[in-house]
Structure 1
Amino acid sequence: MSFKQTIISAFAALSLTSVAFASTQSPSPIEIPRISGQITIDAKLDEPQWQNATRVKMNNITRPYDNIPSPVDTEALLMEDGGIFYIAFIAQDPDPSQIRAFLRDRDRSWGDDLVGLKIDSFNDQRTAYRFMVNPLGAQIDGIESEVTKKESDSWDGIWQSAGQINEQGYIVEMALPLRILNFNEDIDVQTWGIELLRMYPREEQLRLSNIHLSRDNNCEICQLATATGFSGAKQGSNLTITPALVVGRTQTLETQDDGTTDWITDDRTEPSLDVRWGITPDILLNATLNPDFSTVETDQARLNINNTFALRFEEKRPFFLDNQDYFDSNYNLVYTRNINAPNYGAKLTGRKEDHSFGLFMTDDKSTNILIPGNRSSSIAEIEGESKAAALRYRYNLNPNITLGWVSTARSAEDYQNQVHAFDARFRLNTNNVFKFQTLYSQTLYPEDLFKQFCNDDSENGCEQPPTEPCTYAECDYNERVLRTQKDDTFSGNAFTAGYYYNDSDWHYRMTYRQNDSDFRADLGFISQVDYAKVEIGGDRKWYAQPGQWWTKLKVYSNWDKTENDAGEFIEEEIEFGVHLDAKYRSHVILGFETKDKVGSRIDASSLAIDDNTDVFDITRYRIRGGIKPLIGLNFNADLSFGDTIDYASNRAGDSTNFTPSIGWNVNRHLELKIKQIYSDLRADGADVFTARLTDLRTTFQFSVQSFVRFSFIYNNTDRNPYNYIYVNPADISAKTRDVSTELLYGYKINPQTVVYLGYSDHHDTELAFADLEQDQRNVFAKFSYAWVK
């Protein structure tokens, strides 16, 4: 029996261990009364309609303690008028001076005092909307998925909120238009899953609720209360039209043929149009023409040194973020940052009873694809425009079984990639879940794609393999050449399966993933192929009683082993750790790992692992921690040290990685954040490199709608050119310094009606900081207005 067959047989045996669901007592349904008349969202609650609202207490602590009474009183008031769901929260506080509340941009208020609710508008225990507001009215919204176990704040709805602090605590008032929710309009009286929440951060972060959450049930959405009402509710036309205009000027310093430098100017004026239309209450169309797909904010700074695999960045663009969760699966098959500059885009998402689907199509003025491997990955560029499309379908066979299908496609001249995948999730009982996904891909590369990865001084352009073994620095060939040197269409397969157990005290899992050497998912983010990995892990949890200095202790362990398609060893790892949560919202994680892992290939012209790599014995230690000792102040740090592999020279080394960060709300308007990333590498008794990256961001929030933000990112790297074995010292810069800055003003009436004004620039040098020279500068403005009907 093969390695894969053994794993599948083990999963099958585990899936037969299903036991009956533990019975739980459902909370009483909440009846939402119908009202009429005008309501002003101002957190005053002085309209007479609030006297008829249903009142619900939220005085149960669900975390970190196990359903005990709350030390503070919270009451929610609920009512609706057929088109808007109104919710108000009266949050009592014995000492209002301790309330954590700061003026913040949307989705940035985590850590503040918060109130809000979850809504499962289909009451099928699969997904839930989440709406939260801090005491000053700052909004957070997002979607939670029980199927994928993902929570995301990327979804943005257009709704109203207001908050006001008073002598007794604070009041928050919310108005949720029904048009922003998906629900079954054919039902006369709606029954929705609902949970009312309050986050109460003091020495401990208390999560207060109107329901009890069982630690023995891994599905929180399954335990929501129900709310009934909204008789005859309709979503209306649900049409949003958002025209936008982006204007800007970019100047780049370029070297001319005569050796002089000159600024090259590029002016742009780009109108665009976005349409969001609820064709029916169940089907949503997003369409965009000539969109501004640039992000207005700098990505989080990251170091990419002594790392052989491509980095992944978060999506920020509104068109792709809307209903993004419809495309989720066990594999990241839809990574929309791959799509750089489309002329148009269209997306259709919908849900009807037990069926849900997502479909999108775009073009792209440029085509970048990820070339995966088992020791490295890289980005390749294909000339010309490309088309991209994705289809996701999911069927809820019953409350505990979900089946799904994914298809993706990218195509350009002499290039195409298609992926088709089937997945299933079985919730065996409240503690046990089994899921799997099987995938097939078919790919055609341009005939000369491999030449992008051929060494510049190659005599034959990598047309012929070398006759003698050669290192990466000496060889025309390398893994990326070999992965892209394809004469015709090729196909590949991938498979993953996982069994997961959770109860109040224990969690353990067994997972298996295999991507064969010819599997490609070019619309997704799959950086590794030609590998199979089995993993077994688990943890044990203990909980403190109220009043103790700690709240939760977790001890965890993990083992995994990785081989390539030929069964050759790549890596085996054992990891142990302890995670402690304590007062002042502090945490400490102590970790230890030991592994055997192969390094770079000795002969770069061969994909073989055995007799072509060295196996390194690596032991590393990790310490992570954080604390929030005062209102608006938090410290975090992450330290790891020990053995490592110097991939450039294929040898053993030792390294230290240290990332401290500080966040400080100086007052309700001003926030400072600074993060320092430090990484070094030593080998053969000498330094190889020392890299330091400083990320400073400061925001002054004039109001919930308006802010100005300054970002400063400084990369400071020193290398020892004489401690690189395979590279000529003259080809290595001993010092690299570069600075990126951005000044951004934003005014947001809602997520789509915005004004942005910004300036950014870049400086670099191979000398000292004082020698930095500007080589790029950019001014821009963006205006958009959402017309809602």
Structure 2
Amino acid sequence: MQLKKKTMQVVIVAFALMASFFALASDNSAIDIPRIAGEISIDGQLNEPQWKTAKRVNINIVTRPYDNTPSPVKTEALLMEDGGTFYLGFIAHDPNPEEIRAFLKDRDRSWGDDIVGIKIDTYNDQRTAYRFMVNPLGVQIDGVESEITKKESDSWDGIWDSAGQITDFGYIVEMALPLRMLNFNEDLCQQDWGIELVRFYPRTERLRISNTSLDRGNSCELCQLVKASGFTGAKQGQNLTVTPSLVLGKSEERDDYGTWQDDETTEPSLDIRWGITPDILLNATINPDFSTVESDRAQLNINNNFALFNEEKRPFFLDNADYFDSNYNLVYTRNINAPEVGAKLTARKDNHSIGLFVTNDETTNFLIPGNRGSSIAEIDDKSEAAAFRYRNSYSKDLTLGWISTLRTSDDYQNMVHGIDARYRATQYDVVKFQSLYSNTEYPDDLFEQFCNADEVDDCQQGNVEPCDLSGCDINEQVLRTQDKDNFSGNAFRFGYYHNDSNWHYKVTYDKQNAGFRGDLGFIARADFNRLVLGGDRKWYAEPGDWWTQVKIYSDWDISHNDDGEMLEKEFDINFQLNAQHGTHARFWYSNRDLVGNRVDQSSLAIDGNTTLFTENEYGFFAETKPTSGFYINTRLNWGDKVDLSNNRLGKKKEFRPTINWNVNQHLELKLRHTYRELDAESKNVFIARLTDFRATYQFNVQSFLRLTFIYNNTSRNQQNYPLSDPDDITPRSKDLSAQLLYAYKINPQTVFYLGYSEHQDGEGDFSDLKQDLRSVFMKFSYAWIR
């Protein structure tokens, strides 16, 4: 009798487990999206009768941080379409609605909130997917995810509608996605798209909940989307957006004599986005505005030989920017500073995709790369730029590509051509490679802007004499811009990557020889090659544990120049812990052998011309979200650091805390401070402090007022710069940038900005700061959509 009872219990448990499994797996089946007719009001109500006929899909599987476990909360998605618009409704239940995390923010800035949304692979080829997310107050997040490059970007902005409201049982979100903003094959009678419906539930743990199970050992998430069928006979229509804009401004700048000089600006511009066919999209622009309106993120640039990277913000360059992605960053459009006109054509048909853009520029800016540093070169003449990208998805596992870029001006030209491939050998193993060839011609006098000699002839090839660090008037960039004729170079990148649920390891090799230039891209190194071996091991917790994941990562890399002379050798190891309340902690140690600056700057040689230093660096990073609307992180670095100005080994300390606080639904405060100190020979070399403070009051989803202060305060010890004349070292320097900005946005392209900004600098106390620049500006743009 006892045996029968135990047997019955085992059977009941088995059936329960099977039922649980089938409940989780049930929504992995294909989804048929019904066609509806009639008007739908996007108000977060879901009260139209059409919603009763919508396809209902459960979002009930926790895919992160746990491995496809049942969701603790109920979420239901409703899907329907009318041939021109894809409608989605989300009913998100919550046992404690008062704990819902939702704040009014600008677009794409709500990732820490409760969120629901969808990924859509409109070609169902596991290459690229759109992403549309909304928080409970209707704030939108959208972007593009690429499986080929493994990049996710919120830079792309579509024009679509959403609304949300918090209820007594949770919240409701309603979305309307016009098909005209999506690329898909209009020739098909019925669309078969890959989709994933997602909810992010941030409480003690931040749960990612999906309608489908994901194999955490399969790094290709887009390969695991569920097929959705519908949109019979769907057309994109004319897909025409015309966006004129106008920037008005007045600025005043103080000259060297203390006199204010006025400058007034009236800059009209025009952007056109036209779907010539469902597969071909044309973007055109006239005088696109480069007054990015909102301040770039502050970066501290001291004791650093390489140029800094900034993100693109102009709609013309952002739309379908993923068409130009490759293993190298060969299309960095921030290089194009002030274009007058531009055109971009992107197309996708079957397994083929093509991207082409051409534009001009009133000036010409590009990087002069090296193996010990890089600098920005400027040519006053106008220039033209172009890029061409072709990609062929030869099979579901193999992608082939070609890329060409061009920059040209008077007495200047740079061309790059290359092939690339990505092969997915198994669901765990991927191989990538790219091979490039460049041909470049510099103006004969380009070297002059890097020459510090009293007579530029002293920097001419043939006239350069040996020198030492304390008395050199030239640098690496002078030598790398001395070619009188066309010169060419090659670059090559190879990588093997393995990812499964527990292990990741990689082998990569990257080479840019001395003659290679990629002037339309962000290529900061030349005469350089690097081999990297790395890997990590992960462990996962069970639901309910205080931690969620532990990872140990280590890599080893070595770099040489073209002559085989070692530039750097590094060993890294770090320990990472993820835990409750969005807590992440990372500890690391690096041992690095690297060469300092060249002693004789007239020679590019490394061996016998540089000192090999050994740096031992320790670091700690931690972040947490202990309560709704409050985020804090801190980064600590200490150990050895080469003092580049004086070519010696010093000791560094760096402390970088960040605090983001949503005081209430409307007000957000952000503070980021960087403190960096370098000592050498038991004395201070410099102390640099950079503070970035931003206060934003978001009136509603469409409008905000933002106040920004960026303060840089640097002090240098004149007596501890032995390679420089003390009079050439500024002991104290300060500058303060401030901006007050009001924004009203109906959609990403119909916007109104009104702002005031100013800059102050000085070499004494804070009270000694003097204003040297001030401006007021207004921008208005309106998108006509057909």
Same fold (TM over 0.5): yes
Structure 1 residues 294-443: aligned runs within 5 Å: 294-443=291-440
Task: Tell me if the contact between 2:488 and 2:516 (Cα under 8 Å) persists in the aligned partners.
Answer: yes
In the alignment, is residue 514 of structure 1 matched against residue 511 of structure 2? yes
In 2, distance between residues paired with 1:307 and 1:69? 49
Equivalent-residue separation in structure 1 for 2:226 and 2:315 (angstroms): 32
1:178 partnered with 2:179: yes
Deviation (angstroms), 1:466: 6.0
* Structure 2 segments unaligned to the other structure (5+ residues): 1-24
Q: How many pairs does the alignment contain?
A: 762
Q: How does 1:144-183 map to 2 (within 5 A)?
A: 144-183=145-184
Counterpart Cα distance in 1 of 2:657 and 2:277 = 49
For residue 383 of structure 1, what is the amino acid of its counterpart?
D
* Corresponding position: 1:65 with 2:66: yes
Letter aligned with residue 224 of structure 1: L
1:496 correspondence with 2:493: yes
Query: For 1:693-738, what per-residue CA distance to the aligned partner results, in whole angstroms no more than 9, with x for missing partners?
Result: 0000010000000001010000000000111121100011100010
Distance in 2 between residues matched to 1:247 and 1:124, nearest whole Å: 45
C-alpha contact 1:762 1:775 (8 A) present in aligned 2: yes
2:269 and 2:512 map into 1 onto residues whose CA distance is 40
User: Aligned equivalents of 1:785 and 1:487: distance in 2?
Assistant: 49
Corresponding position: 1:253 with 2:254: yes
Answer yes or no: is the 8 Å Cα contact 1:465–1:477 preserved in 2: no
Mapped to 2, the partners of 1:553 and 1:25 lie a distance apart of 31
SS in 1 for 2:306: coil
CA contact (8 A) 1:695 1:712 kept: yes
Which residue of the partner structure matches residue 282 of structure 2? 285
CA contact (8 A) 2:118 2:131 kept: yes
Is structure 2 residue 567 aligned with structure 1 residue 566?
A: no
The alpha carbon displacement at 1:426 in A equals 0.2
Tell me if structure 2 keeps the 8 A contact 1:673–1:698.
yes
Distance 1:194 1:643 in 2: 49
The match for 1:631 is: 628
Instruction: For 1:69 and 1:759, locate their aligned partners in 2 and report how far apart those are by CA, in whole Å.
Output: 51
* 1:719 partnered with 2:716: yes
CA shift in 2, pair 1:86/1:245, >3 Å:
same
In structure 1, give the amino acid aligned to 2:89. Answer: A
Distance 1:777 1:473 in 2: 39
Q: 2:419 is paired with a residue of what secondary structure? A: strand
Work out which of the residue numbers 590, 605, 610 in structure 2 matches 1:613: 610
2:460, 2:166 → 1: CA distance? 72
Percent of aligned positions with the same letter in both sequences? 62
RMSD over aligned Cα, in angstroms?
1.1
Q: Is the Cα–Cα contact under 8 Å of residues 294 and 317 in structure 1 kept in the other structure?
A: no
Counterpart of 2:357, as a letter, is F
Mapped partners of 1:218, 1:467: distance in 2: 53
1:140 paired with 2:137, answer no
Compute the TM-score of the two structures, normalised by the length of structure 1: 0.96
Would you say the 8 A contact 1:466–1:605 is kept in 2? no
Q: Distance in 2 between matches of 1:683 and 1:774?
A: 34
Paired amino acid for 1:353: D
Displacement, 1:471?
2.3
Separation of aligned partners in 2, 1:175 and 1:67 = 29
SS in 1 for 2:767: helix
1:204 counterpart residue number: 205
- Match of residue 219 from structure 1: 220
Structure 1 gaps, min length 5: 1-23
Q: CA deviation at 1:467?
A: 7.0
The code of the aligned residue for 2:400 comes to L
Question: What is the alpha-carbon distance in structure 2 between the residues aligned to residue 240 and residue 654 of structure 1?
Answer: 56
C-alpha distance in 2 between matches for 1:198 and 1:464: 63
Distance 1:698 1:138 in 2: 18
Distance 1:463 1:403 in 2: 44
Q: Does 1:643 find its partner at 2:643?
A: no
| SS in structure 2 of the partner of residue 767 of structure 1 | coil
Closer, same or farther: CA 75–772 of 1 in aligned 2, 3 Å: same
Taking structure 1 as reference, are residues 216 and 397 closer, same or farther at Cα in structure 2, changes over 3 Å only? same
1:142 maps to amino acid: G
Structure 2: how far apart are the matches of 1:598 and 1:548? Answer: 46
TM-score of the superposition, structure 2-length normalised?
A: 0.96
1:436–1:496 CA contact under 8 A, matched in 2 = yes
In the other structure, the counterpart of 2:8 is: none
- Counterpart Cα distance in 1 of 2:26 and 2:406: 47
| CA-CA distance at 1:609 after TM superposition | 0.3
| 1:473 shift after superposition | 4.3
- Asked whether the 8 Å contact 1:54–1:78 carries over to 2, the reply is yes
Separation of aligned partners in 1, 2:780 and 2:440: 40
2:27–2:58: 8 Å Cα contact kept in structure 1? Answer: no
* Partner AA of 1:611 in structure 2: G
Deviation at 1:456, TM superposition (A): 3.9
CA contact (8 A) 1:472 1:478 kept: no
Cα distance, 1:476 vs structure 2: 2.8
Inter-partner Cα distance in structure 2 for 1:696 and 1:498: 40
* Aligned-partner Cα distance in 1 for 2:309–2:464: 37
Mapping of residues 56-95 of structure 1, within 5 Å: 56-95=57-96
For residues 459 and 229 of structure 1, do their structure 2 counterparts lie closer, same or farther at Cα, with a shift above 3 Å needed?
closer
Cα deviation for residue 475 of structure 1 reads 1.8
| Partner residue in 2 for 1:14 | none
1:722 is paired with a residue whose SS is helix
Give 1:754's aligned residue: 751
- Aligned mates of 2:344, 2:298 — CA distance in 1: 31
Describe the shift of the 1:147–1:508 C-alpha distance in structure 2 as closer, same or farther (beyond 3 A): same
| Whole-angstrom CA distance in 2 between matches of 1:635 and 1:27 | 38
User: Against the structure 1 CA distance between its residues 523 and 25, is the aligned structure 2 distance closer, same or farther, given a 3 Å change threshold?
Assistant: farther
Cα offset, 1:153, TM superposition: 0.4
Equivalents in 2 of 1:473, 1:355: separation in Å?
56
- Aligned position for 1:732: 729
In 1, Cα distance between equivalents of 2:587 and 2:40: 52
* Equivalent residue for 2:578, pick from 581, 586, 590: 581
- The Cα shift of 1:216 comes to 1.6
